[in-house]
Amino acid sequence: MKFNVSEVFYSIQGEGPEAGIPMVFLRFSGCNLRCSWGDLLCDTPYASWQPETNLLDLKTVASLVSEASSECRRIVLTGGEPTIQNNLEELCRFFVNRGYRLSIETAGSGPIPESVSTVVLSPKLSDSIPSDISAKTMHTRNRLKFYEFVPRGDQRVYLKFVIGPDTDMKEVDQIITDLAVNPDHIYFMPLGSTEKELAENSRRCWQEALKRGYRYSGRLHIHTWGNCRGY
């Protein structure tokens, strides 16, 4: 049982419902999406567009988590797209049985593990479709799979929408209606992986969140460290 692990590090969650909380980040490599917003690609291309290969067994993963922080009992599974990892439920149970609380950051393009406590679902909207033909084909095939894998009304689910200049808010509103998510579990976050890009998109994101009574999420790690690995 091997897992393709990009990196393991201890940091403060910078976005979404658990922002500000210290966590161990377990980032998997590999993704069945190819997000692109014009000239902006996914902010972790080393785990998505150009995925690294680093296959580790569960014992090694557990050791890396412990080395990152021997005290922290919160792990966030992220990527890439963590749900495409084989045997992910077994990994989750392993950590839960040892007293860890697990969250997952996902686009919902694979099965959601039952053992995670918090599901931060970031649906990939039509403004994320790349122009490259092969990438576009894969992205289009997989980006709406959250309708298959995320149960309607699941109270573990928090929605985190990336809002950019070309985001179709009718599309956002429809997904919210379809998934019947608690309004207090809905976050709008500006597109961007630099302070400049976040500033350019924050005003619209702020206004759209305010209009609907939803929550606004910044990206604390970007403001503090930039788009730097390990934070």
pLDDT at 75: 99
For residue 5, how many other CB atoms are within 10 A of its CB? Answer: 21
Residue 230 lies in a domain: no
Residue 207 lies in a domain: yes
pLDDT digits (tens, 9 = 90+) for 74-131: 999 999 999 999 999 999 999 999 999 999 999 999 999 999 999 999 999 999 999 8
Identify residue 86 by its one-letter amino acid code: N
Instruction: State the residue range of the domain holding 33.
Output: 2-225
pLDDT at 213: 98
pLDDT digits (tens, 9 = 90+) for 191-224: 999 999 999 999 999 999 999 999 999 999 998 9
As a whole number of Å, the CA-based R_g of the chain is 17
Q: What is the CATH number of the domain that holds 47?
A: 3.20.20.70
Residue 15 lies in a domain: yes
Domain count, the chain: 1
- On average, the pLDDT of the chain sits at 95
pLDDT digits (tens, 9 = 90+) for 155-187: 999 999 999 999 999 999 999 999 999 999 999
Residue 231 lies in a domain: no
Contact yes or no for 189/214 (Cβ under 8 A):
no
Residue 43 lies in a domain: yes
Separation of alpha carbons 136 and 126, rounded Å: 11
Q: Which residues of 53-91 are buried (b: 16+ CB within 10 A; e: fewer)?
A: eeebeeeebbebbeebbeebebbbbbbbbbbbbeebeeb
pTM: 0.94
Separation of alpha carbons 154 and 66, rounded Å: 30
3-class state of residue 128 by DSSP? helix
Give the CA-trace dihedral at 140, 163, 166, 43, to 10 degrees. Answer: -60
Residue 116 lies in a domain: yes
pLDDT at 50: 83
